[in-house]
Amino acid sequence: MWGAEVVLESISVFISGIVEGRDPVLNEHHQRVAAGISEFAEHIGCTGEERQILRIGASIHDLGKLSINEHILNKPARLTATEMELVRQHPELGYQLLAPLNLDPRITGIVRYHHENFDGTGYPEKRKGDDIPFYARIMRLWDVYDAVTMDRPYHKGVSSSEALQILVDTSERYDPELLASFCDFIEGRFGGRVAFCQGGEAVCLHAPAL
């Protein structure tokens, strides 16, 4: 590893250190997703460089949350409409924080678009389908999976099988090919079974309660 790759790694480590100091729980989320997404990227045949881009993007994807009041982020109750609107600004806030660094646009695209849904119902731009950067579509799956399985002040984390079912039940939000690959990956990792019906609709047949 040399040159630009070393710079990217150094920036990633530096930002992760800042996040760790401000919000250790958020940094743990970042690191879990970064580790998982790197394995998944190998599973779907990504190159070493692509895996690095995904891992770095995952390790800083929620950076914008550092600009949001922690009392809102950790509120042990349902957020108000105003609070939710503030939280939904974090992808753009993170992108703006990174803008002066002139990072690889694939990395900043992960930060900016990881809450976009394949059916156009996400944010911040309501992008749809292939208009969402490929790396952000991968990040979307991992972000949701990890978010629902981790314990937070406002909810207890669900099991792996329940998390998979949540993804299946909202499959319209995700790239169907990536969702199929993700389910296959989770099956290999945790021993679950996932089937896909005609039309690409995912149906979880079995997954262990982890």
The number of residues in the chain equals 210
Provide the pairing of β-strand 193-196 with 202-206: antiparallel
* DSSP states along 123-169: SSS---GGGS-HHHHHHHHHHHHHHHHS-BTTBPPPPHHHHHHHHHH
The answer to whether the peptide bond before residue 124 is cis (omega within 30 degrees of 0) is: yes
Q: Which residues are within 8 A (CB) of 45 and not within 5 positions of it... i.e. 6 or more apart?
A: none
Helices 160-169 and 176-190: angle between axes, nearest 10 degrees: 170
Q: What does the pLDDT read at residue 192?
A: 52
* Cβ contact 114:120 at 8 Å: no
Residue the block writes with tokens 């692509």? 50
If one counts every other C-beta atom within 10 angstroms of the C-beta of residue 65, the result is 22
- Tell me the one-letter amino acid at 153: P
Q: Which residues are within 8 A (CB) of 23 and not within 5 positions of it... i.e. 6 or more apart?
A: 65, 66, 70, 73
Residue 44, class by beta-carbon neighbours within 10 Å (0-12 exposed, 13-18 middle, 19+ buried)? Answer: middle
CA–CA separation, 87 and 27 (whole Å):
17
Domains by residue range for the chain, with CATH: 4-150 (1.10.3210.10), 158-210 (no CATH)
Q: What does the pLDDT read at residue 152?
A: 75
Tens-digit pLDDT profile for residues 98-149: 999 989 999 999 999 999 999 999 999 999 999 999 999 999 999 999 999 8
Q: What does the pLDDT read at residue 20?
A: 83
What does the pLDDT profile of the chain (210 residues) look like in tens digits? Answer: 445 666 677 778 878 888 888 888 888 999 999 999 999 999 999 999 999 999 999 999 999 999 999 889 888 888 999 999 999 999 999 999 999 998 999 999 999 999 999 999 999 999 999 999 999 999 999 999 999 988 877 678 888 888 888 999 999 999 999 999 999 898 777 665 444 433 434 444 333 333
Helix and strand tally (H, E) in the chain? 10, 2
CA of 196: how far to CAs of 76, 118, 143, 170, 201, in Å?
36, 18, 22, 14, 6
